[in-house]
Amino acid sequence: MHIAFLLFPGVTQLDLTGPAQFLSRLPEAKVDLVWDNRDPVPTDAGFSILPTATFAEVPRADLLCVPGGLGIAGVIDHAPALDWVRQVGTQAQWVTSVCTGALVLGAAGLLRGYKATTHWAWHDMLPLFGAEPVAARHVIDRNRATGGGVTAGIDFALALMARIAGEPHARAVQLALEYDPAPPFDAGSPAKAGEALVGVYAERANRLAPTRKADLIASARRLGFATD
């Protein structure tokens, strides 16, 4: 199985590296990290990742996965990247995303009429692109599979692996990678975190990217999606 991850400046690295670690354990998997060129790509964690291939070198794949991050606005406005996602996605057996990568799939026209999830703070943006938002860690609707925010990418990868290679294989990979989460705090969702902590998050997000949602709406309009 040829698995192609979109790699882009400003990607949330765990959106990519978490699922990549798991999905690389699919039988006969080949993983590519794809971008415009092979120069190091800066992530949101302060380090860069090297692409393994360019858009021209990967015209198709069995499984497409688009991670998220604050860099998605740049991806949506970068025609070569969005064209590549659209091209590969229209032919792939599986079209997938993690976190706000779902909005890139949506902008490429790949989520119209599909149920999908994304980071909780961005659920209200999914209908911009014709997707039906579902509040869940992962959603599989036909051959579209989407994961929620960041760490949900691991749950997404295991659920997808079970669909592709069977639950026994997915369970064996879970054991091999000792995925047995027991977080020290129970604050991983807005309902559990409470209004005060959600407010802290919102303030930080607005400081880092104050126009992020307005920019996304403008991009949706430019791409011909109804935004009213």
State the Cα torsion 199-200-201-207 to the nearest 10°: 110
How large is the average pLDDT for residues 56-61?
A: 98
What does the pLDDT read at residue 227? 74
The answer, yes or no, to whether residue 72 has pLDDT greater than 90, is yes
Task: Output the average pLDDT for the chain.
Answer: 97
CA distances from 56 to 36, 101, 110, 193 (A): 8, 21, 20, 44
List, in order, residues 6 or more apart from 42 with CB less than 8 Å away. 9, 10, 48
Type of residue found at 41: V
How far apart are alpha carbons 139 and 136 in whole angstroms? 7
Q: What is the pLDDT of residue 135?
A: 95
Which one of 14, 23, 81, 99 is the catalytic residue? 99
Over the Cα atoms of the chain, what is R_g? 17
Strand partners, 34: 6, 53
**What digits encode the pLDDT tens for the residues 25-46?**
999 999 999 999 999 999 999 9
Average pLDDT over residues 201-224: 92
Exposure string over 47-82, b if 16+ CB within 10 A, otherwise e:
eebebbeebeebeebbbbbbbbbbbbbebbeeeebb
pLDDT band at 208 (very low <50, low <70, confident <90, very high): confident
Which pTM does this prediction carry? 0.97
Q: Considering only CA atoms, which of 35, 40, 67 is closest in space to residue 54?
A: 35
Dist CA 3 CA 137 (whole Å): 21
CA distance 221 to 76: 12
pLDDT at 187: 96
Active site residue 65: no
What pLDDT is stored for residue 94 in this prediction?
A: 98
pLDDT digits (tens, 9 = 90+) for 111-165: 999 999 999 999 999 999 999 999 999 999 999 999 999 999 999 999 999 999 9
